[in-house]
Amino acid sequence: MADTDHCCSTQLIDGDGEFNVVGLDNFMRTTKFSNCGLSYAVVAIMGPQSSGKSTLLNHLFQTNFREMDAYRGRSQTTKGIWIAHCVGIEPFTIAMDLEGTDGRERGEDDTTFEKQSALFALAIADIVLINMWCHDIGREQAANKPLLKTVFQVMMRLFSPRKTTLLFVIRDKTKTPLEYLEPILREDIQKIWNVVSKPAAHKDTPLSEFFNVEVTALSSYEEKEELFKEQVAQLRQRFFNSISPGGLAGDRRGVVPASGFSFSAQQIWRVIKENKDLDLPAHKVMVATVRCEEIANEKFCRLSSDEDWLALEEAVQSGSVSGFGRRLSSILETYFSEYDSEATYFDEDVRNAKRKHLESKALDLVLPAYLNQLGHLRFKVLENFKSRLEQMLKEGEGFAASAHACTESCMHEFDLGCADAAIKQANWDASKVREKLRRDIDAHLLSVRDAKLSELVARYEEKLRQLLCEPVESLFDAAGRDTWASIRKLLRRETETAALEFSTAISSFELDQPTIESMLQGLRDYARNLVVKKAREEAGKVLILMKDRFSTVFSHDNELMPRVWTGKEDIKTITKDARTASLRLLAVMAAIRLDEKPDKIENILLSSLMEGTVTSPDPLASSTWEEVPPENTLITPVQCKSLWRQFKSETEYTVTQAISAQEAYKRSNNWLPPPWAIVAMVVLGFNEFMLLLRNPLYLMFLFVAFLLSKAMWVQMDVPGQFQHGTLAGLISISSRFLPTVMNLLKRLAEEAQGHRTPESPRQQESSVAFQSFRNQSQLNPTSSIAQSSVSSNVSVSDSSVEYSSPNLMQRRSTKVQEAELSQ
């Protein structure tokens, strides 16, 4: 198959009916036919073989269709269908040269290709030139009759008429004027039209409905070439602006856009070859569908690999891109407008449907990037919100006011960001992302608010703890009749003060009333629980408190001075008072009385445990107090009973000690002999007494002895030493006395034996150390027993003890002087 036999003409369909796709595409590319849209015309020529068709086209359109060499005889030169660009004619015009009809080469009966090519020309061309010999007009056996029959018959196979212009070109015009020839020709045409069998739908359809019939005549090319050329030149003028209204093809219908010409021609030829009827409207839609889809796909492919788009997509992966919407809109707009311009001449419905499809695919492609952009925006705005809120709170702004201001500004920031990210081509809904941001902001606000409130609550709880714990503990330590009243008062006062301050502090949070009430109640409950907890703690050590209370009352007089057991005290009454005080303390600690409800716990305890009143049943043989709910019970009646037993046994010793101390005191103060002994002494010692009185020396001796005794009595604090018992007094006194006496005795013995040895330096050191120890021991009388044993040991073995007596020291120095003199 020859693609191009000569310059500018292309074989579209070869003699065997093969469509030259490559050749047509090449023709379209080289002539830039695709860009013509609907602004083009196709002119085909039909006629008997060797009737000068190619010659006419070549002269008319300056084409180069192959012509027969006149000197070699008439034979078929054009095989199949050829096309060529009619240079110089506007709009873009394609000349189509068809294989001649009634050709001897195919035989008389082989009209298949003739019919197929005729139908093809009628489906494609806007103007069909019917080439005919002048002498055939009005002839019964004219060569053009079968041709016209064919044209009319195949035309019926088109579903809708295209208003093709049939231009009859009468060749080798005679002298007969055209005015005479044309009516005869039209009559011939009409006759043929009338006899052609038509489908029922077109039975009465006039010829003019299907065709515009035009007639022209040309002189013989061979005989009157110049005239021929002149007439052809005039005819050429009719092809300028042929598609404009009033032009040769001004009424044409169903034009396929130039960019779909190749596909359309192929499809039409395929349908014709399959011997099917041609539904041109459906064909037009089909061509539009295929072509628009091709255009849309091509645009989408180019968009997918567009450098600007890829750069934008990559940039948005890692962060928010400024001017995202503007950039993306511009990229999309490029491809959508290209589609529009290329698909503009195709069927509108198809074109719009395919555009929507292209938009949808393109938007699907770019949507993730948009969502990424929104995601970055949402994250950025949320972070800004957090830092702004923190800053405002740091600056001391109220929580609700800060939250409101930050939320407003951040949502506005998000809206601006959304507007920046939005594209013209889609009305993407950012409301879900906005809602998510709002939810995140609300959640953050809630968590910050809860944290701040918790902090505030903790601060006030700590304050309450400081204000309540120690005072309550102190009140329990001094438990008495008014303890619970004082605790209630303290609790009420501190709680209400704290609640008032707390209310003011949380006012900036703009909480609803129930929440505020609930928080205040929480604070009150906390304070109450603090007191309850403290009460339970104190109740846990009630025995110690009772013993302290007992000891305080028992060991101190009414003026809170330590009691000295002189024998005049009524230990029984004091014990009873002390126990009663302890029992009252137990009664105070037995139950929580924060609700000001009276109870009989103290009465029950006093009557059952102190007064020993026996009632049946025993009110203390129970684990609950009457009128006191279990949750307010700190010490049950039965526990009270057991505690009382333990308390009594543990305080017994103190009482016994007091009694012993009292007896010892009595004994120590009762040093006079019995009266009968005094009388006997007076009677029997009267003479000696008088002697003493009469002798001033004796009297003076007695007086000195008295003074010495008194001095020792005071110095050694004899009554004080005996205050802790007789034994302790004796030990203490003897510890002071005994070493001196022992030393004295030893020294006397040594002197008597004359074995006195000089003092060594070591002994002198010991003497100094001992003196220091004595001084310390005098400062610390509590360790007197231990000191006494130590000092006695030292005194016995060490002669330096005697230096503690000035007399002995003096005596020693005399002795040393005597020894030195004798040496």
Ligand X SMILES: Nc1nc2c(ncn2[C@@H]2O[C@H](COP(=O)(O)OP(=O)(O)OP(=O)(O)O)[C@@H](O)[C@H]2O)c(=O)[nH]1
Provide the annotated binding site for GTP.
Answer: 47-54
Structure tokens at 356: 């929507």
User: Which of 46/303 has CB closer to ligand X?
Assistant: 46
CA distances from 146 to 47, 108, 124, 196 (A): 10, 11, 21, 11
Q: Which stretch binds ligand X (CB under 6 A): 69-77, 326-334, 546-554, 750-758?
A: 69-77
3-state secondary structure of 190: helix
CA distances from 254 to 123, 126, 288, 467 (A): 9, 10, 12, 99
Query: What single letter denotes the amino acid at residue 334?
Result: T
Shortest Å, Cβ 231 to ligand X: 10
- Give the C-alpha separation, 720 to 668, whole Å: 11
Shortest Å, Cβ 273 to ligand X: 22
Nearest to 213, CA basis, from 164, 162, 142: 164
Cβ–Cβ < 8 Å for 372, 316 = yes
Among 172, 182, 347, 538, binds ligand X (CB under 6 A): 172
User: Which of 68/587 has CB closer to ligand X?
Assistant: 68
Q: Does 64 bind ligand X (CB under 6 A)?
A: no
Shortest Å, Cβ 312 to ligand X: 59
User: Which of 67/313 has CB closer to ligand X?
Assistant: 67
What single-letter DSSP state applies at residue 672?
Answer: S
Torsion, CA 611, CA 614, CA 620, CA 624, rounded to 10: -110
User: Which of 224/563 has CB closer to ligand X?
Assistant: 224
Among 67, 102, 338, 510, binds ligand X (CB under 6 A): 67
User: Which of 58/164 has CB closer to ligand X?
Assistant: 58
Shortest Å, Cβ 126 to ligand X: 21
Shortest Å, Cβ 113 to ligand X: 13
Among 34, 39, 62, 76, binds ligand X (CB under 6 A): 76
User: Which of 68/794 has CB closer to ligand X?
Assistant: 68
Structure tokens at 680: 């006997």
- Give the C-alpha separation, 11 to 18, whole Å: 10
User: Which of 221/502 has CB closer to ligand X?
Assistant: 221
Shortest Å, Cβ 70 to ligand X: 3
Q: Does 54 bind ligand X (CB under 6 A)?
A: yes
Among 85, 106, 157, 171, binds ligand X (CB under 6 A): 171
User: Which of 82/239 has CB closer to ligand X?
Assistant: 82
40-46 vs 127-133, strand pairing mode: parallel
By CB neighbour count within 10 A (0-12 exposed, 13-18 middle, 19+ buried), where does 413 fall?
middle
Shortest Å, Cβ 216 to ligand X: 13
Torsion, CA 624, CA 625, CA 628, CA 629, rounded to 10: 10
Q: Which stretch binds ligand X (CB under 6 A): 70-78, 231-239, 385-393, 531-539?
A: 70-78
Query: What single letter denotes the amino acid at residue 346?
Result: F
How far apart, in Å, do the first and last CA atoms of the chain sit? Answer: 170
Q: What does the angle CA 441 – CA 446 – CA 447 come to, to the nearest 5 degrees?
A: 100
* Token pair 């009619």 in the structure block, residue: 86
What single-letter DSSP state applies at residue 607?
Answer: I
3-state secondary structure of 278: strand
User: Which of 72/394 has CB closer to ligand X?
Assistant: 72
Contact code string over 182-221 relative to ligand X, x by CB under 6 A: --------------------------------------xx
To which H or E segment does residue 590 belong? none
Site for ligand X in 698-717 (CB under 6 A): none
User: Which of 185/472 has CB closer to ligand X?
Assistant: 185
User: Which of 126/172 has CB closer to ligand X?
Assistant: 172
Q: How many CA atoms lie within 13 A of 663 on its CB side?
A: 7
164-171 vs 211-217, strand pairing mode: parallel
81-85 vs 92-98, strand pairing mode: antiparallel
Shortest Å, Cβ 207 to ligand X: 25
Q: Does 55 bind ligand X (CB under 6 A)?
A: yes
- Give the C-alpha separation, 94 to 40, whole Å: 8
Cβ–Cβ < 8 Å for 258, 40 = yes
Shortest Å, Cβ 16 to ligand X: 17
User: Which of 171/593 has CB closer to ligand X?
Assistant: 171
Residue by residue, DSSP assigns 468-492 as HHHHHHHHHHT--TTHHHHHHHHHH
- Give the C-alpha separation, 558 to 19, whole Å: 137
Among 11, 14, 53, 637, binds ligand X (CB under 6 A): 53
- Give the C-alpha separation, 676 to 403, whole Å: 104
CA distances from 708 to 106, 229, 578, 703, 711 (A): 180, 182, 44, 9, 5
Structure tokens at 655: 């009482």
Size of the site for ligand X (CB under 6 A): 19
User: Which of 116/632 has CB closer to ligand X?
Assistant: 116
Q: Which stretch binds ligand X (CB under 6 A): 66-74, 416-424, 680-688, 795-803?
A: 66-74
Contact code string over 608-647 relative to ligand X, x by CB under 6 A: ----------------------------------------
Nearest to 610, CA basis, from 591, 630, 628, 585: 585
Helices 637-669 and 571-589 cross at an angle (nearest 10°) of 160
Contact code string over 216-255 relative to ligand X, x by CB under 6 A: ----xxx---------------------------------
Q: Does 62 bind ligand X (CB under 6 A)?
A: no
- Give the C-alpha separation, 650 to 103, whole Å: 149
Among 2, 21, 22, 70, binds ligand X (CB under 6 A): 70
Q: Which stretch binds ligand X (CB under 6 A): 64-72, 294-302, 591-599, 664-672?
A: 64-72
Site for ligand X in 77-106 (CB under 6 A): 77-78, 100
* Token pair 């099917």 in the structure block, residue: 276
Shortest Å, Cβ 12 to ligand X: 15
Strand partners, 84: 9, 95
Site for ligand X in 21-50 (CB under 6 A): 49-50
* Token pair 């489908």 in the structure block, residue: 199
Structure tokens at 292: 């628009």
Which residues define the annotated binding site? Answer: 47-54
Shortest Å, Cβ 47 to ligand X: 6
Shortest Å, Cβ 115 to ligand X: 16
Backbone angles phi, psi at 687, to 5 degrees: -60, -45
Shortest Å, Cβ 117 to ligand X: 12
CA 810 to chain centre: 99
Q: Which stretch binds ligand X (CB under 6 A): 51-59, 248-256, 527-535, 598-606?
A: 51-59
Q: Which stretch binds ligand X (CB under 6 A): 53-61, 176-184, 471-479, 656-664?
A: 53-61
Shortest Å, Cβ 304 to ligand X: 50
User: Which of 172/342 has CB closer to ligand X?
Assistant: 172
Among 10, 51, 267, 372, binds ligand X (CB under 6 A): 51
Shortest Å, Cβ 76 to ligand X: 4
User: Which of 172/359 has CB closer to ligand X?
Assistant: 172
Nearest to 118, CA basis, from 145, 70, 155: 155
Residues engaged in binding ligand X (CB under 6 A): 49-55, 67-68, 70, 76-78, 100, 171-172, 220-222
